[in-house]
Structure 1
Amino acid sequence: MKIELKKIIPNYEAFLPLLQLIEQNNGKAMLIGGAVIDGINKIEIKDVDIEVYGLGYEEICKLLEQLNLPSNVVGKAFGVLKTVIQDIEIDLSVPRRENKIGIGHKGFAVELDASMTPKEAGKRRDLTINSMYLNMHTEELVDPFNGLRDLQNGILRATDEKTFIEDPLRVLRIMQLLPRKGTIVEKETIILCQKMVEEFCELPAERVFAEWEKLLLKADKPSMGLLFMRDCGWLKHFPELNDLIGSPQNPIWHPEGDVWVHTCMVIDQAAKLRNQLPNNDWRLAYMFGALLHDVGKPSTTTPDLKAHGHDAAGVPIAENFMKRMTSNKSLIEKVITIVGLHMRPGQLFNSGAKEPAWKRLHNKCRLDVLGWQSKADSAGRTGRNVLNDRHETSEMCFELFQKFGEKEITPLVQGKDLIVLGLKPSKEFGIILAKCYELQLEGEKKEAILLKIENNTI
């Protein structure tokens, strides 16, 4: 199989001097990783990873010097160096062997060997679909482990049983790759993952977070990753989600089933909407919010299947979930705010609340974000499609967001206004300003509020 590189690599001609120099020095440049899959699917490549055969690490560095290309040797211990061609970042690496000698992702002895074949080097790769190579000189696909067949059949399969189990992060990689690159995980590979359950503790939080981030921001159907985690036994490490399984709901409102089923549906609906969010920070918070929005239900659901207060109860639970994998305070705050307020738009809409109540909610969280969350939550039921369904609560959120703006509503009356009225700064200022702000939210104009202060009727 041949793949025309000029059709998938931006500014491919700029790569030719490097490829020609590698070939002139008896080396061979092989495109590896997800870029090969993108090439097969005729998708433009964003990440260019090249494994160079027949040349040592220092030799590759010298070739870059000849071409006046920058080189970053930060990954020297793993035989990796970085360069840039036409604003495209490139990872160049030497084939290597990795032998497990300790725990964690750093517990490997690395041996560089430029004489290795792609088949030998490919054994250390996680899945067969990631063990394909593209010869950048001949544009021929090199597929020593039948990765193309598995890719075409949607199968995620461990490349090598022995090397696969050496890195527990590979289980989480399958979690996020399954909905993006496949449809099923091969049975023997699931068994391998089950055997690695207790090795989760070896993984640093930042690497766990990175895989969740990919699942939530890149997968069209994140529930596939969640179901895989359940099937391989790894969901036990995320008890906030594991507890949702079997947690009952009122079938009148939730005919789809328990809280777990509902959450899986909501997260898939949210994925269809995430690009509506203003930026990546909010998109990720939104997706984590959708994932965790009902984690308070197991502890609040009564025998008659009511779960009053589950939104507030879910806040500390969601916070614990997030803190175990990230120290990003801004993200955590956004997520728990969404979880704690996800019921509020529906409550305000159904009660016919006036604008002041919506303004108070807007001051706690952007109404557009809560609108998208409410829309995904509502569509997380059997037979619903968030792209087609009209959701009046969300429409109200969007309408008022346009009216109120992005930021919290600015107080009309400030301390300097009180001083102009002759009041002296004191502890009472805060109380007075808070009352002024409440009047403002109720619709009072600044002049009327100041008049009440003057008349001492506030």
Structure 2
Amino acid sequence: MTDTTGLVSLTPAAIAVIHATAAAGGRPLVVGGSVRDALLDRPAKDIDLEIHGPTDVAELTSRLSVLGHVDHRGQAFGVLAIRVDGQDFDISFPRRDSMAGAGARGFGIDIDPNISVEQAFGRRDFTINAMGWNPLTGELIDPYDGASDLHAGILRHTTASFREDPLRVLRAVQFAGRFGFTLAPETAAECRDITDALAKSGGLSKAVSPERVWQEWRKLARRGTAWTNAMDTLVDTGLIRFYPELAATRGVEQDPGWHAEGDVWTHLALAAEQAAVNAERDDLSGTEREVAVLGALVHDLGKVTHTQNTDGRITSRGHAAAGVAPAAAFLRRIGAPERLLTRVTPIVREHMSHVGIEQPTSSQVRRLIRRLDTNGAGATIHDWARVVDADCAGRGPSAKPSPATRWLAVAAHATVGDAPRKGILTGEHLIARGYVPGPEFKPLLSAALDAQDDGWIHDEQSALVWLDAYEADRIER
């Protein structure tokens, strides 16, 4: 048997919290992801504790208050939260959950500190999350043999309580993508039964709040590197039916000369996976990683409507622009915030901008940067480059070097920059020339911006020279 004496690395703050819980009469167990990640030799930032046995909650609160502010969620959720020396701790009590409606408040909760560990852990989703570790004795408590499933790379549900929260089906997808695991056959069947029931009752969005759905997709985007497993699990669980924009890419053929990996579905999985691998390599996190990974996942959705096979020649002209609408629809369907859409959709529209250009000019790079950030909150050229990199690499045996590096090299030049330049010619200049503010301003300033991107305007003097030429040309016309 594996020695688990020092399984979870405990900080002084964690030790203090554990001793406080034990002093209040309870038996503290480190539970959930902390134990799972420790067995996988992955660092765990936060420690979750579950307190078994009769516990004086008032005394526990008093002892914890010496360490930090205690957030009482106990009345509704049976959880105390505390932050000690910058580390977060959730302290829960054994409970039985039942799904009573949509959203985080849709649970009926019965707190019972006297139920057995097996009963308490049986309400958890998967066996790999239904393990506990006693920090006082070093004992691993594993009533559902989660350690074996963990090392075998299998996601297996614990008990019939799995059905109580439909979001657990999406959690299966999230864990498959994070850990590269596959579903146990009986769990896949259970998930399909749940999605069949959801389909009859209005879909996932009727049963689960958008915030909770996005939380799972966000974890997948920020932590997942096995997107092929995630997308296989979308199919295996039947959950794919609720994401029609993505589902429609299955079987959409591609030119094997450019895409030897297979259909669009396969390409998107490989591209998202490559974006995630690159993000790990570059230590990318937060929104930047979400944009790169989800941008790669949706960049070719337009091929569904714009792919043609003419006498064996497969083309998809116009698919980049056509992909904007389904990409936005999919992102909204997974609950992504609008700020993410404003960054991803311009990348989808522009991801083919490099085609046919061996060496981009300063003007071409400036124009691309401006198109990517048309609303002032859009994508950067670095966002675009990451998706182009993933697109080129996510093609199996037909992977090719990305041209994005050449575009970034031009953007790095001081005369170009990697952000849209403000217009040098302004409305104030036009008013000084006698123009009256009105409809004529916009096209004129737009033309000046084009001239600036082309390098004709680079300071105020050259802007006024350009305006002289513009006015002279207009008179001649």
Tell me the equivalent position of 2:92: 93
For residue 342 of structure 1, the aligned residue among 351, 355, 361 is 351
Deviation readout 1:206-262 (Å, 9 max, x if unpaired): 111111111121011122111111122110100011101111112222121111111
* Superposed displacement of residue 410, structure 1: 2.2
Deviation readout 1:152-204 (Å, 9 max, x if unpaired): 111111111x1011211111111011233353211100000010113223111
Tell me the equivalent position of 1:400: 410
* Superposed displacement of residue 25, structure 1: 3.5
Given residue 398 of structure 1, which amino acid in structure 2 is its aligned partner? L
Q: Which moved more, 1:14-23 or 1:114-123?
A: 14-23
For residue 426 of structure 1, the aligned residue among 416, 422, 437 is 437
d(CA) in 1 for partners of 2:106 and 2:234? 24
Given residue 111 of structure 1, which amino acid in structure 2 is its aligned partner? D
Secondary structure, in 3 states, of the residue corresponding to 2:472?
A: coil
Q: Which moved more, 1:279-288 or 1:17-26?
A: 17-26
Task: Sort the Cα spacing of 1:129 and 1:308 in 2 relative to 1 into closer, same or farther, 3 A.
Answer: same
Given residue 98 of structure 1, which amino acid in structure 2 is its aligned partner? D
Equivalent residue runs for 1:8-407 within 5 Å: 8-9=9-10, 12-54=11-53, 55-65=55-65, 67-74=66-73, 76-101=75-100, 106-160=105-159, 162-197=160-195, 198-199=197-198, 200=204, 201-275=206-280, 276=282, 280-304=286-310, 305-326=314-335, 328-347=337-356, 349-350=357-358, 354-365=361-372, 366-383=380-397, 390-391=401-402, 393-403=403-413, 404-407=416-419
* Superposed displacement of residue 46, structure 1: 0.6
Given residue 153 of structure 1, which amino acid in structure 2 is its aligned partner? A
| Matched-pair contact (CA < 8 Å) for 1:277–1:369 | no
d(CA) in 2 for partners of 1:164 and 1:452? 69
* Superposed displacement of residue 26, structure 1: 2.7
* Superposed displacement of residue 327, structure 1: 6.1
Secondary structure, in 3 states, of the residue corresponding to 2:257?
A: coil
RMSD (Å), alpha carbons: 2.3
d(CA) in 2 for partners of 1:182 and 1:454? 63
Task: Sort the Cα spacing of 1:94 and 1:415 in 2 relative to 1 into closer, same or farther, 3 A.
Answer: same
Given residue 396 of structure 1, which amino acid in structure 2 is its aligned partner? R
* Superposed displacement of residue 13, structure 1: 2.2
Secondary structure, in 3 states, of the residue corresponding to 1:257?
A: coil
Percent identity, aligned pairs only, is: 30
Secondary structure, in 3 states, of the residue corresponding to 1:457?
A: helix
| Matched-pair contact (CA < 8 Å) for 1:81–1:92 | yes
| Matched-pair contact (CA < 8 Å) for 1:155–1:182 | no
d(CA) in 1 for partners of 2:348 and 2:228? 19
Task: Sort the Cα spacing of 1:64 and 1:231 in 2 relative to 1 into closer, same or farther, 3 A.
Answer: same
| Matched-pair contact (CA < 8 Å) for 2:81–2:91 | yes
d(CA) in 2 for partners of 1:263 and 1:101? 36
The alignment covers a number of residue pairs equal to 447
Deviation readout 1:364-383 (Å, 9 max, x if unpaired): 22222222211111112123
TM-score (norm 1): 0.91
Task: Sort the Cα spacing of 1:223 and 1:75 in 2 relative to 1 into closer, same or farther, 3 A.
Answer: farther
Tell me the equivalent position of 2:201: none
Unpaired segments ≥5 residues, structure 2: 199-203, 373-379
Secondary structure, in 3 states, of the residue corresponding to 2:354?
A: helix
* Superposed displacement of residue 8, structure 1: 2.1
d(CA) in 2 for partners of 1:394 and 1:255? 21
Task: Sort the Cα spacing of 1:279 and 1:28 in 2 relative to 1 into closer, same or farther, 3 A.
Answer: closer
| Matched-pair contact (CA < 8 Å) for 2:392–2:401 | no
Unpaired segments ≥5 residues, structure 1: none
Secondary structure, in 3 states, of the residue corresponding to 2:51?
A: strand
Given residue 181 of structure 2, which amino acid in structure 1 is its aligned partner? T
d(CA) in 1 for partners of 2:383 and 2:20? 52
Secondary structure, in 3 states, of the residue corresponding to 1:177?
A: helix
d(CA) in 2 for partners of 1:269 and 1:91? 34
| Matched-pair contact (CA < 8 Å) for 1:31–1:136 | yes
